[in-house]
Amino acid sequence: MIKKEIQVKADLLGSNKAVAATIREKLSQRGILTLNLISSPGAGKTSLLESLASRIRPEHEMAVIEGDIETERDAERIRAQGIPAWQIKTGGACHLEAKMIGKLFPEIPSELDFLFIENVGNLVCPASFDLGEHIRCVLLSSPEGDDKPKKYPKVFTTSDCLLITKADLVPLLPFDIERAKKEALEINPALQTFVISSLTGSGLDEFVEFLKISLQNLRQKYA
């Protein structure tokens, strides 16, 4: 019984990986840098995307795929910024899968620079599913506590980038930014780390710079 369950999971992850690889190749050919944002519920994914809008445009074009169990709320927040957004409602599933992104693919405009995928709020399940992104970002908000990287290691070891969010709240909390960074880097030394606040805008210019350099690198590679 257990053996069969393990086999089903392996098949599911294997087929997800294959679909994700095809998506990544198509996005790369089009020069669209794609990010997968993963965090616990409420860590500030949508707020980050809202505050990136004015910093990315008019120089660059962005679009957003929103993943939630229910409601169109996050896509509505993004559209209110004048940015195209598609909402995927998983109807109970705790993560997005590559085939869900594949279904939307024909609707994604070719002239985009950045495509952001906001995963379902969950620090565990989304870590196992490649969506075809170029950059995976894990967000850890200060109210969640600085001890999370080693408690939930997979999402930190599979990410390229760590965003410590809600930096404006740090003075009110027993959250040690250096401890959070140190623990995350101990399990994944390659993580690019940023400390940001979508409320005050602190740290966002550095993150946008990172996005622009990553876009240039992708386009040079696929020129």
Name the residues that contact Mg ion, by CB under 5 A: 45-46, 74
* Interaction partner, residue 67 (Mg ion, ligand GTP, none; CB < 5-8 Å by kind): none
Which 3 state secondary structure label does DSSP give 67? strand
- Within a 13 Å sphere around the CA of 154, how many CA atoms are in the beta-carbon half? 9
Alpha-carbon span 80 to 102, nearest angstrom:
25
Nearest one of 148, 103, 115 to 28, comparing CA atoms: 115
* Interaction partner, residue 109 (ligand GTP, Mg ion, none; CB < 5-8 Å by kind): none
**Which residue blocks in the chain are alpha helix, DSSP H?**
2-30, 45-56, 73-79, 98-104, 148-151, 153-157, 177-187, 204-221
* Interaction partner, residue 198 (Mg ion, ligand GTP, none; CB < 5-8 Å by kind): ligand GTP
Alpha-carbon span 209 to 206, nearest angstrom:
5
165 forms part of the interface with ligand GTP (CB under 6 A): yes
Neighbours of 150 (CB within 10 A): 11
199 forms part of the interface with ligand GTP (CB under 6 A): yes
* Interaction partner, residue 44 (Mg ion, ligand GTP, none; CB < 5-8 Å by kind): ligand GTP
Q: How far is the CB of 114 from ligand GTP (least distance, A)?
A: 17
For 13, list phi and psi in degrees, rounded to 5. Answer: -70, -35
N residues, the chain: 223
> Cis omega before residue 58 (within 30°)?
yes
Among 168, 177, 192, 210, binds ligand GTP (CB under 6 A): 168
Q: Could you say which residues in the range 25-84 bind ligand GTP, by CB under 6 A? A: 39, 41-47, 74
Q: How far is the CB of 107 from ligand GTP (least distance, A)?
A: 21
Among 33, 34, 83, 121, binds ligand GTP (CB under 6 A): 121
Q: Kindly tell me which of 33 and 139 has the beta carbon lying closer to ligand GTP.
A: 139
Q: How far is the CB of 67 from Mg ion (least distance, A)?
A: 9
Interface residue list for ligand GTP (CB under 6 A): 39, 41-47, 74, 121, 165-166, 168-169, 197-199
